[in-house]
Chains A and B, each alone.
Chain A
Amino acid sequence: MTFDETLNLLASISLLLGAFLSVAAGIGLVRFPDALSRMHAATKPQILGLIFVVLAIALESREWATLLLVIPIVLFQMLTAPISAHMVGRAGYRTGNFSKETLVVDELEDAVNRASTDAADSRRGTDDARA
């Protein structure tokens, strides 16, 4: 097997792995019970699947310029995917879009309850002052 054939084979395997992760995310989105566990499935193609496909592009083109062009894709995705996941997870928890029995430990509950009580107290305080 020549060097070129080996690289082609590696590119094909990377593509197949990326496509497999994409399908895994789709199945997870359909099968998982609530928004927070669906987020877990959704992150698989976002980073690892993209890395596999980008690797396939680099292996197929075999130029340093392509590698330089392709690195920012993974970099930007790694910068932005956690932020959006954080926002969705936060909104999902605060609005109760999850089922409580799927959690083992809920360490956030106390903090959120305390913050809500504080906000309610301060609101009541201003009402009293006005009255």
Chain B
Amino acid sequence: MNVVFIVTSVLFTIAALLTVYRIVRGPSILDRMIASDVLLTTLMLVVGAEMVYNGHTRTIPLMVVLASTAIFATIAVARYVSKQDRVPTQATLADPGTLADPGPGTGEEATP
């Protein structure tokens, strides 16, 4: 159990660091939102793993609340992403036609 404790801790730490890297680097708000979703999921898994290590079940309610409310932040952000939030990538800078045509619109309204 001790080896498992160390290995899972290291794996969860690596996963959290990689998601934090993606949150910092972006490039778009959606990438950051997806990464923060994964960070929250990793947190849930760590809370569950801690229960297994220490042999108690006191933090199960925390996991239930996290599982049922993690959706709100994602929906709030995804609802108000607008076209001007798109980040030009290398491909777009070289050839604007490679990305999807955003279609007509002023670019200021949120996605319908």
Contacts and interface: CB of A to CB of B under 8 A. Distances in A.
Interface string B35-69: 10110011011001101100101001101100110
Nearest to B100: A96
Contact of A56 (B41, B49, B68, B70): B49
A129 interface: no
Interface of B: 1, 4, 7-8, 11-12, 14-19, 21-22, 28, 30-31, 33-35, 37-38, 41-42, 44-45, 48-49, 51-52, 55, 57, 60-61, 63-64, 67-68, 70-71, 74-75, 78-79, 81-83, 85-87, 89, 91, 98-105, 111-112
Interface of A: 8, 11-12, 15-16, 18-20, 22-23, 25-27, 29-30, 35, 38-39, 42, 45-46, 49-50, 53-54, 56-57, 60-61, 63, 66, 69-70, 72-74, 76-77, 79-81, 83-84, 87-88, 90-101, 106, 109, 112-113, 116-117, 119-120
